Amino acid sequence: MGIVEGITEFLPISSTGHLILTSRLLNIAQSSFLSSFEIAIQLGAILAVVLLYWRSLILEKEVLKRVIAAFIPTAVIGLIFYKAIKHVLMGSELVVVWSLLIGGVILIVFELFYRERKDSLEDISALSYKQAVLIGIFQSFAMVPGVSRSAATIIGGLSLGLRRKTIVEFSFLLAVPTMAAAAGLDIVKNAASFSADQIGLLTIGFLVAFFIAIIIIKFLLYFIKNHNFIVFGIYRVAVAVLFLMLWTR
C-alpha cells in the first residue's frame, strides 16, 4: 500500500482510488482503520515534497501566500463533507472506477485540445489570488475518490494559463497543507482507537510512501519536459474498464 501511495500521489491517476482498489485486490477488509490508513500514509508522500521544496514553502513568502489561498476552498469544503467522504465515498469501489474512467476521458480530451500559450505564467509568485483560489476549487473535486487531486489541480492550472511545469510544482506544494490537514484531522479523530500494531502498520506505510514519492516527483518533472498527460488518461480508462470487466464476469 505504501508503494502504491508513493507512486500515485503526484501522478494524475488518483492515489486514494488506487489504494481503495489495491485493498480490494489484496482482500483487505473494509474498516474504519483501513480508511484512516489510506489517508494517513499520504503524509509520507507529502513529507517528500517538504524535503524537496522546503525553500519555497518557508523562504518564498509570495509562493506560500498563493498556496494558502488555494488551500482555503478545499479546507472549507473538506470540513463540510468529511463524514460523507470517509464513510460513504471512501468505501465505494464503484465510485472509484467510474471516477477513473470519466476523469481519464476528460484528461485525454483536454490534452488533445490544449495548446500552451507563449505568455503562459512561469512564476508561481506571480499567480493572482483569484487564480490560486480557482485552482483550490478545482482541487476540491478530488475529494471524490478516483478523481485525482493532481489531475484536477493541473487541468485547472493549465486552463487558467500556467505553464505545465509551473502548475505541476504548484500542485506539489498545494498537496502539503491539503493532505496534512486531511490526515491530521483523521488522526486526531481516530488516534485513540489505534492499537500498537496498527500504529506500526501506519509507520511502515508512511516510510515506504515517503521514499517512493521522492523518486516519482523527480520522474514527473523530467517526464513533462517532452510529454503531456494523455498516457495517464489512457491508463485510467484501461484500469477502469479492467475492473468493470472483472466485476461483471
Q: How many domains does the chain have?
A: 1
Read off the pLDDT of residues 8-46 as tens digits, 9 standing for 90 and up.
Answer: 999 999 988 898 899 888 988 877 788 778 877 888 999
The Cα 203–Cα 207 span in angstroms is 6
Assess whether pLDDT exceeds 70 at residue 249. Answer: no
* Radius of gyration for the chain, computed over Cα atoms and rounded to the nearest angstrom: 17
Of 13, 140, 165, nearest to 80 (Cα)? 140
Give pTM, 2 decimals.
0.87
Residue with cell 509562493: 63
The Cα 194–Cα 51 span in angstroms is 28
CB 85, CB 134: distance < 8 Å: no
The Cα 141–Cα 147 span in angstroms is 7
- pLDDT on residue 33: 82
Q: Which residues contact 187 (CB under 8 A, 6 or more apart)?
A: 36, 40
What number of other Cβ atoms are within 10 A of residue 208's Cβ? 18
Residue with cell 494517513: 40
What number of other Cβ atoms are within 10 A of residue 159's Cβ? 14
The amino acid that residue 192 corresponds to is: A
What number of other Cβ atoms are within 10 A of residue 167's Cβ? 27
Confidence band (pLDDT; 50, 70, 90) for 178? confident
Note down the domain range covering 229: 2-247
